[in-house]
Amino acid sequence: MLKLKLLPLFLFFIFLGCQDKIESGAAKINWDRDMCDRCVMVLSDRKHTIQLRDPSSKKVYKFDDIGCMVLWFNEEKIAYKDSVQIWITDAISGEWIDARSAFYTTQNVTPMAYGFSAYKNKESIKSGDEIITYDEVLKRVK
């Protein structure tokens, strides 16, 4: 009888442990299932995806191209856009990097044709490519 009374408590703790508790850092992307929060295209390009987490609600917003995020900031009048942490995938390794400290090149093939690819290290960019900052990307997206 005692076992039956403890079963709901046991199940509660099992399900509690299964929840995705990540509330900082880059969230897991369900490739080919998650969709861009602006254009609603499926996230499949592992070299240009970008994400951020709303500082108050902790909701993660995902975008298939940095241009979608910039336009979303402006269209939705996001007040925290200058202070929120943003992660973007490195164009070579696909690892999540800080979008504000990344180095960007222009004239790349990207999901929504904005053309900006992010790199963790300036040395990984081939010679002759134009290198710009995150702030310059924001200015160039129209």
Report the 3 state secondary structure along 39-67.
CCCECCCCCCCEEEECCCCCCEEEECCHH
Look at residue 38 and tell me if it is in a domain: yes
- Report the 10 Å Cβ neighbour count for 94: 13
Look at residue 17 and tell me if it is in a domain: no
Contacts of 98 (CB under 8 A, 6+ apart): 85, 86, 87
Q: pTM for the full model?
A: 0.82
135's enclosing H/E stretch is helix 134-140
- Percent of the chain topping pLDDT 90: 82
Look at residue 25 and tell me if it is in a domain: no
Q: Is the pLDDT of residue 133 over 70?
A: yes
Residue 9: predicted pLDDT: 56
Question: Average pLDDT, stretch 28-41?
Answer: 98
Residue 6: predicted pLDDT: 56
Look at residue 52 and tell me if it is in a domain: yes
Judge whether 51 and 63 are in contact, CB under 8 Å: yes
Contacts of 71 (CB under 8 A, 6+ apart): 38, 141
Look at residue 76 and tell me if it is in a domain: yes
The count of domains in the chain is 1
pLDDT averaged over the chain? 90
Q: Residue 24 — pLDDT band, cuts 50, 70, 90?
A: confident
Question: Pick from 118, 112, 127, 76: which is nearest to 100 by CA?
Answer: 118
Q: Is the pLDDT of residue 59 over 60?
A: yes
Look at residue 21 and tell me if it is in a domain: no
Look at residue 6 and tell me if it is in a domain: no
Question: Average pLDDT, stretch 78-87?
Answer: 95
The alpha carbons of the chain give a radius of gyration, in whole angstroms, of 19
Q: Residue 118 — pLDDT band, cuts 50, 70, 90?
A: very high
- Starting at the edge strand that comes first in sequence, how are the strands of the sheet with 50-53 ordered? 60-63, 50-53, 86-89, 96-98
Look at residue 3 and tell me if it is in a domain: no
- 5-9, 73-77, 100-104, 123-127: which range is least confident on average? 5-9
Q: What are phi and psi of 8, to 5 degrees?
A: -60, -40
| Residue span of the structural domain in which 112 resides | 30-140
